[in-house]
Amino acid sequence: MNTTKQLLLSACLALTACAGGKILIEGDVRELRPTAQQAGPTRIGPRAKLLVIGIDGIDRSLLYQLLRTGQLPELAKLLGNREGATLPHALLDETVLAPLPSDTLPAWASVFTGKTPGEHGVTGNEFFMRGTRTFACPAPTTFDTNDPVVETYTEGYCNELLSVPTVYERLRADEPDISIWVALSQFHAGADRLLMPKQTVIENTYTEFLANAVTGRGTNDTYKDIDLLSLRGIQAELEQHQTPEVLTLYLPGSDLFTHVSEEDPTHVRSKYLREVLDPELGRLRDTLREKNELSNRFVILVSDHGHTQVVADEEHAITTRDEDSPKAVLEGAGFRLRPFRRTVSDDAEFDAVLAYNGAMAMVYVADRSQPDGPTDWTRPPRLEQDVLAAAEAFFQADATGARAPSLKGALDLILTRVLCPHAEVDLPFQVYRGGGRLQPLCEYLREHPRPEYVDLERRLDELAVGPAGDQAGDVLLLAHFGDRDQPSERRYFSHPYRSWHGSPSRQDSEVPFILAHPGRSTAELEAIVRPILAAKPRLGAVTDLMLHLREAEKDERAALR
């Protein structure tokens, strides 16, 4: 029973070394760079600073409705609201979309690199890397293990999966002495300090989550500690140290509770935002205000995806069981499937890999004509004998239940493509129509509109087209999930849960993107943001915006000298 946030809860259980140097333990703070390197030079004139808040699992309509109706008064004040006014110093964007799949790791990787999944390489919560025959699993779904998440915070595991630098590394390349703190975020390369909750809180919450994922009887009390103690730890550090120029907060608790609660996802998250996060964000605001650290600080608030209610049973969950599953489909078609484990022996032979990402599953196939010996996964598979053979097997399973009766009628789209040689920019996905026929997605959507899906063609291209596009798979399965109104009609690739995401639907994909500053009007903030979002309203704009704000401020400061 895994999600990104479930695994995140055990991240502090091992206190070892970080890639690039030993991590020093200072309570719930980990120094990522030697302290002497953190003190910057005396600045000339005022300097704009950044506060980035990432709230996991909150869709745009929910957050904006709560803000606009006054149900999050403390957050509104942090965004510059004044008594009797309606967010006069904040821009609430209505255009930004999550990448596909609309899951945690692809989204936050995009936020903190500015690149698409096909560029930064984190194409899912789990995915396959052909060049090294490695199954990357920053948040495993097809099997249970905590090791990758522990390594995210002790060895920089998620950082190492990136093919591009983080925004912090890019900021530091231009400003070597910039001070950066990151709280709980998986992508923190280039920061000075990584702030985490205490180990006992992590252990207790993780234990209770495992039980509640089965019973659905958890309460806010079970999950709020992961956020509250993280926020209070930040406040304690701010009271003792100089406030960093860039402070990033990642808050996963609302998503944790939503995945396992039997209540409606909208009600669950609304209650969590109002009762748990809003008061604590008010305390953080007070701490920053007392230090005069808000008057010249931009606040950026984003999320990674929404939530869609599902039925928590194996009739609706497409699991990894041996029979009546995608595993049976591939093996029935003559493929040797990689075992559902993080690592396999060096001599293990397989020519197919499955990776699950909620509403989507990625299928990877190899060229099966290779001579005996280790399969060379850098060679592209053959279109007809390998790729289309797998696609046809799933087409028949969906149409007739062949080899997997429970998959009959489970799939909305089967997408596939011709794969280029490893490390080359790949072609976009097309729709598989059966009998070896492929159709461009744009043509298919003209004939078979999907009004529930948002900007599907562009977002699929951003997933699959790029230097790391081969990590999105050769066949992409999209379950009936975001296109269905009733939970009883939704299917998803995972163990049973009560809420999931990953689809191209508005509910999963439309995310908040807020920029605020106490000295700027909404119109002024709009003038800053709109050129950045005009071409591609995507989550990578957070990095673009952070770089722009620092660069623009640097130019203004230079003009004063």
Residue 337 lies inside a defined structural domain of this protein: yes
Return all residues near 308 (Cβ < 8 A) that are at least 6 apart: 265, 359, 481, 482, 490, 499, 500, 501, 503, 505, 507, 508
Quick one: what percent of the chain has pLDDT higher than 90? 71
409 and 448 together in one domain: yes
* 260 and 324 part of one domain: no
Q: Which of 327, 394, 360 is nearest to 126 (CA)?
A: 360
Looking at the structure, do residues 362 and 443 belong to the same domain, yes or no? Answer: yes
Residue 46 falls inside a structural domain: no
For residues 420-442, average pLDDT: 89
Q: Are residues 189 and 273 in the same domain?
A: yes
Token pair of 445 as six digits: 């959507």
Give yes or no: residues 372 and 478 share one domain.
yes
- Residue spans of alpha helices (H) in 348-484: 388-400, 441-447, 456-464
pLDDT score of 15:
28
Which residue range is the domain that position 338 belongs to? 317-498
pLDDT at 287: 96
Tell me the average pLDDT across 54-73.
96
Whether residues 359 and 326 share a domain: the answer is yes
Looking at the structure, do residues 403 and 419 belong to the same domain, yes or no?
yes
**pLDDT 10s digits, 161-173:** 999 999 999 999 9
Q: Can you give the pTM of this predicted structure?
A: 0.91
- The answer for 197, left when phi > 0, alpha when psi is -120 to 50, beta otherwise, is beta
77-118 confidence digits (pLDDT tens): 999 988 767 899 999 999 999 999 999 999 999 999 999 999
Q: Are residues 429 and 521 in the same domain?
A: no
Same domain as 214, residue 324: no
Segment 402-427 shows an average pLDDT of 89
Confidence grade of residue 212 (pLDDT, cut at 50, 70, 90): low
Q: Indicate if 494 and 510 belong to the same structural domain.
A: no
| Residue 55: Cβ within 10 Å count | 26
Indicate which CATH number applies to the domain containing 510: 3.40.720
| Count of structural domains within the chain | 2
Instruction: Note the Cα 54 to chain centre separation in Å.
Output: 11
Residue 63 resides in a domain = no
Q: Are residues 345 and 464 in the same domain?
A: yes
Q: Which of 156, 150, 95, 158 is nearest to 126 (CA)?
A: 158
